[in-house]
A and B are shown apart, each in its own frame.
Chain A
Amino acid sequence: MVRVSAPVRWLLRLVAVGYVFLLVAWPVSLVAVRTFEHGTADFLAIFTDPHTVAALKLTVMVAAWAVVINLVFGVTISLLLVRYEFPGKRVLSALIDLPLSVSPVVVGLALLLVFSGRTGWLGPSIEEAGWQVIYDSPGMIMATCFVALPLIIREVVPVLSEIGDDQEQAARSLGANGRQTFWRITLPSIKWAVIYGVVLSLARSLGEFGAVKIVSGNITGRTQTATLIVEAKYQNFEQTTAYSVAFLLAFISIACLVVVAFLRPSHQEA
Chain B
Amino acid sequence: METLTIKDVRKSYGEIEAVKGINFSVEEGEVFGLIGPNGSGKTTTLRMISTLLRLTTGSITVCGRDVAGEPDDVRKVISYLPEDAGAYKGLTGRSYLKFMAGFFADGEEFEKMVQKGMEIADLGDRIDSKIETYSKGMMRRLLIARAIMPSPKIAIMDEVTSGLDVVNAYEIREIIRGIAQKGVTVLLSSHNMFEVDMLCDRIAMINEGRIVLTGTPAELKEQYGAANLEEVFVRAVKE
Q: Do A and B bind each other?
A: no
Interface residues of B (CB under 8 A from A): none
